[in-house]
Amino acid sequence: MSRIVDVERFIEPYSFAASEREDVLAIRVEDERADWNDGWFRLTIPANGRSALVERTEMAAPGIPSAACDIQTWTAMLAGGRRPAAFASVGRLKAEEEALAIMERRIPRGPTYLADFF
């Protein structure tokens, strides 16, 4: 079991998959336990996938693909537990078609590695 405690600090060093271009995405994260995680975030993912810029916003901006989910779903997607399309198919992720395509393309595929020792 895992949980993202700070969306902004988690995303900045996250290694997204490389792409031919920069992608911008608005994500609405719902988090009942951590108000600093609850809200809209604008993600700017560079072509190389490194050092994404994440900014808190008041709402989704017009023309920017958007998606919404709770913190548990967001954590599971970024940790590699399930693909965005799988969560969208069961209603855990609400996403515009373009937003879902970006997430599928940019969230890396592979097994989850969770070092749970200290």
Per-domain residue ranges for the chain? 7-106
CA–CA distance, 84 with 99 (Å, rounded to integer): 10
Give 45's strand partners: 23
The arrangement of strands across the sheet holding 93-95 comes to 53-57, 39-45, 23-30, 66-70, 93-95
pLDDT tens for residues 12-46?
Answer: 999 999 999 999 999 999 999 999 999 999 999 99
Class of 7-106 per CATH?
Answer: alpha beta
Q: Label residue 118 by pLDDT band (50, 70, 90).
A: low
pTM for the model: 0.90
pLDDT tens for residues 39-72?
Answer: 999 999 999 999 889 988 888 888 999 999 999 9
6 has a pLDDT exceeding 70: yes
Share of residues in the chain with pLDDT > 70 (%): 95
